[in-house]
Structure 1
Amino acid sequence: MPRIDAVNTSRAGMDLAPAHQRMRFNKLDLNLLVALDAMLAERSISRAAERLHLSQSAMSNALGRLRDYFDDELLVQVGRKLELTPRAETLKESVRDVLVRVDSAILAQPRFDPAQSDRCFRLIVSDYTSMVLVPHLLALAGRHSHTVRFELLPLLQPPLRELESGEADLLILPTEYRTPGEHPYELLFEEQFVCAVWSGGCFAHADRLTAEQYTAAGHVVMQPSGMDEPTRAGWLKRRYPGVRRIEVSTYSFAAVPYLVVGTDRIATMHGRLARLARKSLPLRLLAAPLPSPALQQTMQWHKYRTMDPGLVWLRGLLQEAVLCMDAELGAAAAATASLGGVRVLP
């Protein structure tokens, strides 16, 4: 029987499967759920067909059979686009949940051999994580396999939908961003914040920043896209305590250190990313004069996939990547965790 794959639905078939190979439940060909899931997500027959590598006629046929089964139009033409009927809206999350359950509990392979696998792992990560941790993950993975692939996805919205739909295998995000509820998570590492300043600016020879200097200075900050007030204000207050003058804001953690060069502005940054940036930029790193809570970076996965052999392997590899990351940073990373607030950081 063709696999009902909740992550890569292109591997599933509907009309392509012989009748004797179709899984049925209450007279419903369960392969049709893959087609329904694609059409509800894409709101387009042609795009759903392309996603599943089927002809448009095969997808139209599947829609006809689904309409007969549910006694509902499911997708209706409104102007130049298709809209979901109320019945389809109620089915959308349930269908996706069924596919995730089938994929994780019934069709998952009993073991995972990275050397023989061409699996693509989809991770939601920030550009900070992509720069400081993911290179070590990829290097370690390369020792085990030349065929395993990775797709790094941005955090564009609360990630609950991607996790529960199976569109993401892992979230690697701060604790505050992990999805609430029953999905398990594990701490990867903690991060402290430091102040990055231009080595040619007014703080070039300072041994430390005073609270007065910090609050009076102009600042470069990163703020997540898609946030509205008051959420944005609350996030900025927690992440950058004491900052009064935000002169430059950006959507990218990686861009922040570049935006202080040539100015007297201060950037309060993740310690590991700041040290990485200092390798190529004229920066000085100073202890933050005002307390800022440590960032806890976690990985989270779907509760149905806790025993997925591939994800068990990947989670172990990530923990190993953390050790490699901090070993490369050496004593500087250890110094980050014990800031005295009165010295230039190594």
Structure 2
Amino acid sequence: MQFHNFDLNLLRSLDAFLTERNVTRAAEKLFVTQQAMSASLRRLREHFDDELLVRVGRSFELTPLAAALIDPVKNSLQSIQTALQVRPKFEPKTERRHFKVAMTDYAAMVLMPSVVRLLLQTAPFTVIHVERLDADSYSRLERGDLDFCVGLIDWENHRVYKPSEHIRIEWLFRDDFVCVVDPLHFNCTGDITLEQYMNAPHGQVSFGSDWRTLIDRGWLKADIEPRIVTKAPSFSSLIMMLPGTPLVATIHRRMAQSMAKALNLRIMECPIEIRSLEESLVWLDRNDTDPGHGFIRELFKEAGRKI
């Protein structure tokens, strides 16, 4: 009597036979025809090599084997029902889970302080691993290597990736762009003019040859070709290059505000139009019912509202 040869659908039929001790009443209990119930009894007899139900006078009685099956069958059905009702749980105060999130250095600098504060308050043993968002991040998300991505929803920069119908997106916050300079080396009394902007030496952030930032697109739209003196791998490293130089860095306003004062830099309004940055949280629908993922999603949304 091999388990892998047994049709588990027969367990309910067996339980009905053992309880009702009558084919007709067992069929009525399961809302099936008497013929279907008789077929189930025949298959059960073949499996156990036992009659299970035998006629004694005008009624049916259980065989010794059938009587011995009453409690194990009921317990098995109860266990199956319990298993089918199981839902994952997440206890923030005690849970020890790890989540991988890919984001830019800008998002890490602007968003993560709020996320970390909320995490320490509500889920002190949960760990968020932050990785750099790159051209392969969304493909890794779909493969299950990442739990979330945070960034601008702009699939053009992810040329080899085509978002599937399983992608879920939640908007977090918006930011615009400003110019940052060292006032001791860049001569400008008011906001930088378009002419000054076009003639100044610039630093540029490069995430790779196929990646075009919103600033790059703003330059194209304004039909200008800034004089690029240096290229940095991130916005935070670019702003660190400014002290002691006449460079202009076009950077997110919130990042500039968080770093300029400590570096004695000056923030000015950007003279060209650059599309606002809209940061979003991205995940896969297969994690929608995971309470741990749901908790982290709400954490990021709340952090976005606090910015």
CA apart distance, 1:266:
0.5
- In the alignment, does 2:242 pair up with 1:260? yes
State which of 185, 193, 196 in structure 1 corresponds to 2:180: 196
- So what's the TM-score if we normalise by structure 1? 0.58
Change (3 A) 1:309 1:157: same
Aligned partner letter, 2:283:
W
Contact 1:109 1:309 in 2 (8 A): no
Contact 1:108 1:308 in 2 (8 A): no
| Aligned residue number for residue 193 of structure 2 | 210
SS at match of 2:235: coil
Deviations 1:244-286 (CA, angstroms, capped at 9, x unpaired):
2111101021111111211111000011000001131111100
Matches within 5 A, 1:217-232: 217-224=200-207, 227-228=208-209, 231-232=210-211
SS at match of 2:236: coil
Aligned partner letter, 1:300:
V
Q: Distance in 2 between matches of 1:313 and 1:261?
A: 41
Matches within 5 A, 1:242-321: 242-321=224-303
Contact 1:197 1:265 in 2 (8 A): yes
| Aligned residue number for residue 167 of structure 1 | 145
Aligned partner letter, 1:219:
H
Change (3 A) 1:202 1:279: closer
CA apart distance, 1:220:
0.8
* Structure 1, 297-306 or 172-181: larger mean CA deviation: 172-181
Contact 1:221 1:250 in 2 (8 A): yes
Root mean square deviation of aligned Cα: 2.3
CA apart distance, 1:208:
1.3
Aligned partner letter, 1:197:
V
| Aligned residue number for residue 154 of structure 2 | 176
Gaps of 5+ in 1: 1-19, 21-105, 327-346
Q: Distance in 1 between matches of 2:212 and 2:107?
A: 23
Gaps of 5+ in 2: 4-83
Change (3 A) 1:108 1:304: farther
| Aligned residue number for residue 70 of structure 1 | none
- In the alignment, does 2:133 pair up with 1:155? yes
Deviations 1:133-163 (CA, angstroms, capped at 9, x unpaired):
1111011010012211111111243223211
Contact 1:194 1:268 in 2 (8 A): yes
Matches within 5 A, 1:1-346: 110-177=88-155, 180-182=163-165, 183-203=167-187, 205-224=188-207, 227-228=208-209, 231-232=210-211, 237-241=216-220, 242-324=224-306, 326=307
Q: Distance in 2 between matches of 1:300 and 1:206?
A: 42
CA apart distance, 1:239:
5.0
Q: Distance in 1 between matches of 2:213 and 2:106?
A: 21
Q: Distance in 1 between matches of 2:105 and 2:282?
A: 17
* Structure 1, 287-296 or 146-155: larger mean CA deviation: 146-155
Contact 1:214 1:243 in 2 (8 A): no
CA apart distance, 1:193:
0.4
- So what's the TM-score if we normalise by structure 2? 0.65
Contact 1:219 1:265 in 2 (8 A): yes
Q: Distance in 1 between matches of 2:196 and 2:266?
A: 16
| Aligned residue number for residue 54 of structure 2 | none
CA apart distance, 1:234:
7.9
Q: Distance in 1 between matches of 2:180 and 2:112?
A: 23
Aligned partner letter, 2:266:
R
| Aligned residue number for residue 21 of structure 2 | none
Change (3 A) 1:109 1:151: farther
Contact 2:215 2:250 in 1 (8 A): no
How many positions carry a matched residue from both structures? 216
